[in-house]
Amino acid sequence: MTGTSSSQVLSALSYNAVFFGIFMTIFFVFRLKLKRLYEPRSTYDLVDEEQKPEPLPKGLWQWLLPLLKKSDNFVIQQAGIDGYFFLRYLFLMFVYFAISALWLFPILFPVNIVNGRNQDGMDKLAFQNVKNKKRYYAHAFCGWIFYWVFLFVIYRELYYYNSLRCIVLSSPRYGRKLSSRTVLFQSVPSQYLSEREFRKLFEGVRRIWIARGNRQKLEEKNRN
């Protein structure tokens, strides 16, 4: 079995870096051209004037730093609570694995390289280059620390997620949104396809809309 040489790794990094640069350039150019796709709220009259966000600076990359400086409250207002948590998840994963690399690599690379099996290329950095079996404990302990700290971070994020979601959903601002007071039922038994019977199921219902279309055609369309 042949190992992975340094030249192979560098060529792969160079190859992917070129594609990364091409796609990022395409994105930067399209972002300036396609306002309806990337800046619909600040460019067009889709929301009230008071809810419009400030337009980001023009330019290929001048908008990036002001966007990163936006507060969490701004992101929640513009992207919603689900969009905010998705961005927070991406940022959390990036930060955790970047910090983990800063302390794992200085510990494990010397353990794998020094007095190893003298393998070539990038294989000398790998676990398989370890010759002294007692050095396996370094991998085991580092793996335990990485795993349990990661579980603790996930636990803290779940606690923060539940707390913030309860605060947002119970806020007056969210309560005024029509989407927070609307429920769509797609499968309703025939006996409840009348407003009188449906109101018996739930209290405090203001309005009920029942689709009166051709049910057979709709079922055939869903099956196909």
Q: Are 132 and 115 in contact (CB under 8 A)?
A: yes
pLDDT for residue 2 is more than 60 = no
**Span 33-49, mean pLDDT?**
78
**pLDDT higher for 97 or 121?**
97
- 217 — pLDDT class (breaks 50, 70, 90): low
Q: What is the pLDDT of residues 127-144, one digit of tens each?
A: 777 888 888 899 999 999
Alpha carbon separation from 173 to 87, 170, 180, 192 (Å, rounded): 22, 9, 10, 32
- 1 — pLDDT class (breaks 50, 70, 90): very low
**Span 41-63, mean pLDDT?**
77
Q: What is the pLDDT of residues 149-193, one digit of tens each?
A: 999 999 999 999 999 988 888 888 777 777 777 888 887 888 888
Provide the whole-model pTM.
Answer: 0.71
Six token digits for residue 166: 């309860």
Those residues whose C-beta lies under 8 Å from the C-beta of residue 150, and which sit 6 or more positions away, are 96
DSSP assignments along 17-64, one per residue = HHHHHHHHHHHHHHHHH-HHHHSHHHHSSSS-GGGPPPPPPPSSSTTH
**Span 62-86, mean pLDDT?**
86
What is the residue extent of each domain of the chain?
Answer: 1-69, 76-177, 183-223
- 90 — pLDDT class (breaks 50, 70, 90): very high
